[in-house]
């Protein structure tokens, strides 16, 4: 049975019960402790006033007492009694031998200190029993009653065996009563009486509002009041329980943060072994990257909260967290059992508001993840785009190659997000038309220039020759060549990089595309190309809004539809509209003749995350699979490093296909052979994965080194970490510091954190440098790295490696 027994009722306005009589009964019945001291607020009696005058004559110095000052301000029975008591105590050696004083002390009425009944209420309010009784008889609103009872042994042990102790406790509960009865404090009235029964000391409590029909008490309100009473009465008993509960709660929160932080670190270095948690964290990181406003759980959309909840649920499966949660719940239930035997069913960690901080820790750590790079906005002449170019060229020419003629090789080049050419080699084959008049942009001279630019699987690119041939073709008025010359000069291929000269060629390409769009049968392709120029700021001022308008003109071109969807997805040049982006991707993905694999991939992500549409794992898997098949078809006719890297990632993560580390490795190998730094890094991480059949630390270091030399900051960081810790390679502090410094130079927040922490505390081979260490940690914190914030905050609190600063320490934590 619960230690504190409570019974709540309410009496409605239609009752026949005489509430006034009930209040008189509980205030005066046998066993009530008459502790009412509110009579002290009444005016001082004549006897008191005369006795005070005598004291002042006999002992003039009593006028200096604070009690006399109180009496002068407010001449009540209580103040008079306090002054008389103090004056007699200070002059006891004289008054005890004086008959007048001795007679007064002997006959001093108890009513000066206590009244004739046991009813009490808030401090400072006089309780006149008859008036209270009459008021309740006339009251037509609800009146709530409660009986709160203790076992005798608990009452004796806790000091709740006197009416004064119960009265003092209830006076601290006025706010709780008002809050749970939904009655404003100024309208609340409550009265109680203490009955000191032999077995179960208890109180009777009445509460109501002076405004009729105001207030109500819910089941939760009853629970809250029981809890509030119990916490006050059993405060001493619960101190140890609360301390243990708090300790377990803090330990659970801390351990959760550590586990999530460790998971993120391992994911970033490619050695994490929980695919489900990794997928959820990556999904969260992706959603957060496209979420504006505060990155705090309470401010996020429902779908993002659902991802966070699923991560916390997965976290709760960890045996360390489960054990701590059980301990916390045991302490909580011990508290609940003080006032109820009906302990509620335990709720999952993800739904427990006490541990909301864990959700915010998950958010902060997810922000530290290195998410998969966004799909390249400009799909510059990939295999799918080449089909559109071919179709346009065929419509402009007058003659076709004979069907039995061999195909002519045609190459293309991809671009990075900033439009610069970046280590990509693509090849596609098709039947070409031959024009008697070499006046088409897809002339043999242009194709020869592209062959030199991109090379083949057998021959390497010859950038200088390509630039020479491309410039000649551009000077003949070939808009495609003008564009390609601009890209080569911008990227420094075959020449020194020169943005100003590159922009001159882009301006010429823009003019050529603009003129061609007026006359071409398939104008939509040139509208799309003009839109891309605006997207990247090639030859025109970068303007996403104008890019969107050109893409809209080409509303039947799958590449334009995809590019427009990207703008709506990101909110660039148009108001962000995920539903609109979803519709555009769908239209591009389901194009009747040229379904766009990149749009299909986006649909897979949107169905997966519930962006622009409802979450649908089935639809997500279907579109990922279609995208994967589409990428495979493109791969058959081209050797593109980014496509190989994408296929490797999809095999690594199981998107669109089964997880296949072996295939992932092969695709990464192909991309790495084409000098793709991301693939080199991915391959390095894969070789460190103990589940990979070709696990090989030396090869991992080899590929990471190649990526690091290509200025891949994550590869530089991972190399530094491997050689600093010496866990899987021989420790080499100097080599580790070299690569960490390289990564720091590129503002990698993880490198800033690791190097900063290492310098802050020093190492067996590294002398401490607290100034630089703090500087690096602050740089990492500025990039929202919570690990750095924790490290620096802890250092300031401890005060061992930096001067102690409690305020700064708490601010970082």
CATH number at residue 446: 1.25.40
pLDDT, tens digit, 9 for 90 and up, residues 178-232: 999 999 999 999 998 888 865 678 888 889 999 988 999 998 888 888 888 887 8
Same domain, 299 and 202: no
Least confident of 50-54, 229-233, 558-562, 656-660: 229-233
Which pLDDT belongs to residue 649? 94
- What mean pLDDT is predicted for residues 250-265? 85
The residue whose two tokens read 């690990």 is 787
pLDDT tens, position by position, 298-328: 878 888 889 999 999 988 888 888 888 888 7
Q: Residues 223, 226, 227, 228: what is their CA dihedral angle, to the nearest 10 degrees? A: 120
Q: How is 681-700 classified by DSSP, letter by letter?
A: HHHHHHHH-TTSTT--HHHH
Contact between 103 and 1 under an 8 Å Cβ cutoff? The reply is no
CA 697 to chain centre: 35
- Whether the pLDDT of residue 474 is over 80: the answer is yes
User: Which domain covers residue 311, as residue numbers?
Assistant: 237-366
Tokens of 279: 């997928």
Say whether pLDDT at 404 is over 60: no
Distance separating alpha carbons of residues 798 and 792, to the nearest angstrom = 10
Question: Per the domain annotation, does 801 fall within a domain?
Answer: yes
Is 661 among the domain residues? no
CATH code at 201?
Answer: 3.30.930.30
Q: For the segment 139-159, what is each residue's pLDDT rounded down to a tens digit?
A: 888 888 888 888 787 778 778
One domain for residues 274 and 143: no
Determine, yes or no, domain membership for 699.
no
Determine the pLDDT at residue 138: 86
Within this chain, do residues 161 and 90 fall inside the same structural domain, yes or no?
A: no
Residues 474 and 492 in one domain: yes
CA geometry: angle 738, 741, 746, nearest 5 deg: 135
| Confidence check: pLDDT of 437 > 50 | no
Regarding whether 472 and 528 lie in a shared domain, the answer is: yes
User: Is residue 617 in a domain?
Assistant: yes
Return the ∠ at Cα 263 (arms to 257 and 269), rounded to 5°. Answer: 140
Among 21-35, 206-220, 597-611, 707-721, the least confident range: 21-35
Q: Is residue 674 part of a domain?
A: no
Distance CA 283, CA 114 (A): 70
Would you say residue 753 lies in a domain? yes
- pLDDT classification of 433: cutoffs 50, 70, 90: very low
pLDDT at 616: 93
The pLDDT of residue 238: 59
> What pLDDT does 183 receive?
94
Residues of the chain with pLDDT > 90, as a percent, come to: 38
Of 233, 257, 284, which marks where a domain is finished?
233
Mean pLDDT, residues 794-802:
89
Reported as a single tens digit per residue, the pLDDT across 326-341 is 887 887 777 766 766 6
Highest mean pLDDT among 29-38, 486-495, 545-554: 545-554
Do 68 and 126 sit in the same domain of this protein? no
Residues 361 and 402 in one domain: no
391 and 531 assigned to the same domain = yes
Copy the structure tokens of residue 638: 């081209």
Is the pLDDT at 286 greater than 80? The verdict is no
Report d(CA 78, CA 345) in Å as an integer. Answer: 52
- Same domain (yes/no): 524, 629: yes
Q: Is residue 677 in a domain?
A: no
At 9 the pLDDT is: 77
Alpha helices, H only, 492-616 = 499-519, 523-536, 544-553, 558-570, 578-589, 597-609
pLDDT level of residue 763 (50, 70, 90 thresholds): confident
Q: What is residue 701's predicted lDDT score, i.e. its pLDDT?
A: 94
**pLDDT at residue 423 is higher than 60:** no
Q: What is the pLDDT of residues 535-574, one digit of tens each?
A: 999 999 999 999 999 999 998 899 999 999 999 999 999 9
- Last-in-domain residue among 190, 218, 233: 233
- For 777, the 3-state DSSP assignment is helix
Least confident of 218-222, 460-464, 500-504, 591-595: 460-464
Task: Name the pLDDT band for 253 (thresholds 50, 70, 90).
Answer: confident
CATH number, domain of 791, equals: 1.25.40.10
Q: What is the pLDDT of residues 98-137, one digit of tens each?
A: 555 555 555 555 444 445 677 888 887 888 888 888 888 8
What confidence score (pLDDT) does residue 30 get?
66
Distance separating alpha carbons of residues 134 and 143, to the nearest angstrom: 14
- Of 559, 610, 617, 567, whose CA–CA distance to 588 is shortest? 559
CB atoms within 10 A of CB 652: 22
Please write the tens of the pLDDT for every residue from 662-712: 999 999 999 998 889 999 999 999 999 988 999 999 999 999 999 999 999
Return mean pLDDT, the chain.
81
What pLDDT band is residue 36 in, cutting at 50, 70 and 90? low
Residue 173 in this model has a pLDDT that exceeds 50: yes
Q: How far apart are CA 573 and CA 580, in angstroms?
A: 14
Provide the pLDDT for residue 79. Answer: 87
Examine the pLDDT at 249 and tell me if it is beyond 90. no
- Tell whether 289 and 214 lie within a shared domain: no
| 37-46, 313-322, 502-511, 560-569: range with lowest mean pLDDT | 37-46
Q: Is residue 274 in a domain?
A: yes
Q: Are residues 196 and 255 in the same domain?
A: no
pLDDT at residue 61 is higher than 70: yes
The pLDDT assigned to 458 comes to 64
Q: What is the pLDDT of residue 3?
A: 63
Q: What is the mean pLDDT of residues 577-604?
A: 94
Quote the tokens at residue 452: 């030199």
Structural domain count of the chain: 5
More confident residue, 394 or 312: 312
**Could you say which of 112, 138, 166 is where a domain stops?**
112
CB 421 within 8 A of CB 487: yes
What pLDDT does 390 receive?
37
Higher local confidence (pLDDT), 621 or 7: 621
DSSP annotation string for 567-587:
HHHHTSSS---HHHHHHHHHH
The DSSP secondary structure of 699-710, one letter per residue, reads HHHHHHHHHHHT
**Same domain flag for 346 and 278:** yes
With vertex at residue 233, the alpha carbon angle to CA 230 and CA 237, rounded to the nearest 5 degrees, is 90
Site of tokens 């596609």: 428
């Amino acid at each position: 049975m619960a230690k504190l027994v409570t019974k709540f009722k309410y009496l409605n306005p239609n009752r026949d019960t005489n509430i006034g009589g009930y209040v008189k009964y509980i205030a005066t019945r046998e066993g009530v402790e008459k502790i009412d001291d509110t009579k002290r607020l009444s005016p001082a009696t004549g006897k008191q006033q005369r006795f005070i005058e005598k004291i002042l004559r006999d002992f003039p110095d009593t006028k200096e007492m604070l009690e006399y000052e109180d009496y002068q301000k407010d001449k009540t029975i209580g103040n008079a009694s306090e002054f008389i008591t103090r004056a007699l105590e200070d002059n006891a050696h004289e008054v005890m031998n004086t008959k007048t004083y001795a007679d007064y002390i002997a006959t001093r009425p108890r009513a000066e200190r206590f009244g004739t009944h046991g009813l009490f209420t808030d401090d400072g309010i006089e309780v006149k029993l008859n008036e209270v009784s009459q008021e309740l008889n006339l009251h037509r609103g609800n009146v709530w009653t409660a009986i709160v009872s203790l076992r005798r042994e608990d009452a004796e042990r806790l000091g709740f065996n006197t009416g004064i102790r119960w009265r003092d406790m209830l006076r601290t509960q006025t706010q709780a009563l008002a809050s749970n009865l939904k009655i404003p404090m100024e309208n609340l009235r409550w009265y109680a009486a203490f009955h000191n029964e032999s077995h179960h000391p208890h109180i009777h409590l009445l509460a109501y509002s002076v405004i009729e029909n105001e207030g109500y008490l819910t089941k939760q309100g009853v629970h809250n009041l029981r809890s509030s009473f119990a916490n006050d009465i059993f405060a001493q008993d619960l101190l140890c329980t609360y301390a243990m509960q708090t300790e377990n709660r803090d330990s659970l929160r801390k351990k959760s943060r550590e586990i999530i932080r460790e998971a993120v670190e391992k994911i970033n270095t490619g050695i994490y072994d929980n695919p489900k948690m990794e997928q959820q964290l990556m999904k969260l990181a992706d959603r957060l990257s496209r979420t504006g406003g505060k990155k705090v759980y309470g401010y996020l959309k429902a779908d993002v909260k659902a991802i966070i909840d699923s991560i916390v649920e997965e976290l709760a499966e960890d045996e360390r967290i489960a054990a701590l949660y059980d301990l916390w719940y045991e302490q909580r239930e011990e508290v609940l059992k003080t006032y109820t035997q009906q302990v509620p069913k335990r709720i999952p960690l993800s739904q427990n508001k006490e541990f909301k901080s864990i959700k915010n820790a998950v958010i902060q750590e997810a922000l530290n993840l290195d998410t998969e790079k966004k799909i390249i906005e400009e799909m510059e002449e990939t295999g799918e785009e080449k089909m559109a170019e071919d179709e346009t060229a065929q419509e402009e020419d007058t003659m076709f190659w004979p069907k039995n003629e061999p195909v002519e090789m045609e190459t293309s080049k991809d671009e990075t997000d900033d439009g610069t050419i970046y280590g990509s080699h693509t090849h596609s084959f098709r039947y070409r038309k031959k024009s008697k008049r070499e006046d088409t942009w897809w002339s043999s001279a242009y194709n020869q220039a592209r062959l030199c630019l991109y090379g083949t699987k057998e021959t390497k690119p010859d950038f200088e020759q390509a630039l020479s041939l491309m410039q000649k073709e551009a000077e003949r008025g070939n808009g495609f060549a003008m564009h390609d010359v601009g890209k080569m000069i911008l990227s420094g291929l075959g020449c020194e990089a020169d943005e100003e000269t590159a922009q001159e060629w882009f301006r010429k390409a823009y003019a050529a595309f603009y003129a061609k769009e007026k006359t071409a049968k398939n104008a939509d392709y040139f509208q799309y190309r003009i839109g891309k120029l605006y997207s990247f700021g090639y030859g025109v001022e970068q303007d996403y809004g104008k890019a969107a308008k050109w893409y809209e003109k080409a509303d039947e071109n799958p590449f334009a539809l995809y590019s427009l969807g990207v703008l709506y997805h990101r909110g660039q040049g148009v108001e962000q509209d995920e539903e609109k982006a979803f519709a555009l991707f769908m239209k591009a993905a389901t194009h009747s003749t040229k379904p766009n694999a990149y749009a299909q991939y986006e649909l897979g992500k949107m169905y997966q995350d519930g962006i622009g549409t409802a979450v649908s794992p089935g639809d997500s898997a279907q579109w990922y699979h279609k995208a994967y098949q589409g990428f495979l078809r493109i791969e058959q006719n081209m050797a593109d490093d980014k496509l190989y890297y994408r296929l490797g990632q999809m095999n690594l993560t199981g998107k669109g296909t089964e997880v296949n580390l072996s295939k992932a490795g092969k695709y990464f190998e192909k991309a790495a052979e084409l000098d793709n730094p991301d693939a080199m890094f991915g391959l390095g991480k894969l070789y460190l994965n103990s589940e990979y059949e070709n696990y090989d630390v030396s090869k991992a270091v080899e590929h990471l080194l190649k990526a690091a030399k290509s200025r891949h900051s994550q590869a530089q960081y991972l190399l530094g970490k491997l050689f600093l810790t010496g866990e899987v390679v021989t420790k080499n502090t100097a080599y580790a510091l070299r690569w960490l410094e390289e990564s720091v130079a590129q503002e990698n927040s993880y490198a800033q954190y690791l190097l900063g922490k290492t310098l802050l505390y020093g190492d067996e081979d590294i002398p401490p440098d607290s100034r630089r260490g703090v500087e690096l940690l602050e740089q990492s914190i500025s990039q929202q790295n919570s690990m750095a914030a924790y490290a620096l905050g802890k250092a300031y609190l401890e005060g061992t490696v930096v001067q102690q600063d409690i305020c700064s320490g708490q601010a970082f934590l």
